[in-house]
């Protein structure tokens, strides 16, 4: 049996970084691995400058994401004034005091009313934090949690919990995990086909099913320098929870 940490992500807006070139900042329809790891790191109180702790966290856990609703696309046109050079400023007020400001124009993508379930489990026995410790951190985070960008706060309790199952497939097929969405989120437009995405190098029980693979550059190499490497992600279609039993989440 394997223990799995389960929590949910919902907010009016979210942005899951894709490869960005020039002035356009696109977003995937489901969270990147770096975003989930970053959310866990923020809850645990790990800073971007702590490269060793960030690397241990990224290497220690496998992640799967169920997309209940991918939301609707919103594009936002940004005009931002920023100081040039490599100097780091502690506050926006300090930035605006810089002798010279440059104007940056960009278009940024957001996902509105997207809803996901995240599954996390250890890759091996050498983990820096137990799942119980991560549950506690998600309930009482050290830093503010947000969905990809600081302008996208979490607006529904993450409801972290731990469940045991022989495989991820068995866990998802368990009645407790496929019963319904929380009552508060029932007005959302759920996807007719809900997809589950997971790390390609992990066994989940779905290997015998018809599944596909995509390439994503979302495995963090260095948080401080915003460097990432490619990762292969598998995905499979799951039945929708629409029309399921009404359920008051734990």
The 10 Å CB-count burial string (b at 16+, else e) for 84-115 is eeeeeeeeeeeeeeeeeeeeeeeebbbbebbb
Task: Say which range, 43-52, 169-178, 217-226, has the weakest mean pLDDT.
Answer: 169-178
CATH code of 182's domain: 3.30.70.2660
Question: Would 78 be classed as within a structural domain?
Answer: no
The more confident residue out of 181 and 134 is 134
Residue 220 located in a structural domain: yes
Q: Residue 207 falls within a domain, yes or no? A: yes
| pLDDT of res. 177 | 56
Number of domains in the chain: 1
Give the pLDDT confidence score for residue 189 in this predicted structure: 66
Q: Is residue 97 part of a domain?
A: no
Residue 41 in any domain: the answer is yes
Is 56 contained in some domain?
Answer: yes
Give me the pLDDT at residue 248, please: 39
> Which residue range is the domain that position 48 belongs to?
2-20+30-69+113-239
What pLDDT score does 183 carry? 65
| Position 61 in a domain | yes
Other CB atoms within 10 Å distance of the CB of residue 19: 10
Task: State the Cα–Cα distance between residues 171 and 228, nearest whole angstrom.
Answer: 30
pLDDT digits (tens, 9 = 90+) for 168-195: 999 988 855 555 566 667 666 666 678 9
Q: What is the pTM of this model?
A: 0.85
Would 92 be classed as within a structural domain?
no
The yes-or-no verdict on residue 116 having pLDDT over 80 is yes
SS3 216: strand
């Amino acid at each position: 049996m394997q223990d799995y940490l389960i929590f949910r992500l919902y907010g009016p807006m979210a942005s899951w970084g894709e490869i960005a070139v020039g002035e356009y900042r696109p977003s995937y329809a489901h969270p990147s691995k770096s975003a989930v790891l970053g959310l866990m790191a923020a809850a645990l109180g790990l800073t971007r400058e702590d490269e060793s702790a960030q690397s241990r966290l990224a290497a220690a856990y496998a992640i799967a994401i169920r997309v209940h609703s991918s939301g609707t696309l919103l594009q936002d046109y940004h005009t931002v004034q920023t100081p040039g050079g490599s100097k780091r400023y502690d506050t926006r007020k300090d930035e605006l005091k810089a002798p010279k400001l440059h104007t940056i124009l960009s278009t940024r993508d957001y996902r509105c009313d997207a809803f996901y379930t995240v599954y996390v489990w250890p890759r091996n026995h050498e983990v820096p934090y137990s799942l119980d410790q991560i549950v506690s951190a998600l309930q009482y985070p050290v830093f503010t949690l947000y969905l990809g960008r600081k302008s996208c706060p979490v607006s529904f309790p993450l409801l972290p919990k731990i469940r045991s199952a022989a495989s991820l497939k068995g866990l998802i097929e368990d009645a407790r995990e496929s019963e319904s969405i929380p009552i508060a989120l029932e007005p959302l437009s759920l996807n007719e086909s809900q997809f589950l995405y997971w790390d390609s190098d992990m066994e989940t029980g779905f290997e015998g099913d018809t599944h596909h693979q995509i390439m994503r550059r979302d495995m963090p190499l260095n948080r401080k320098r915003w460097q990432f490497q490619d990762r292969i992600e598998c995905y499979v279609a799951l039945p929708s929870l629409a029309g399921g039993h009404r359920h008051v989440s734990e």
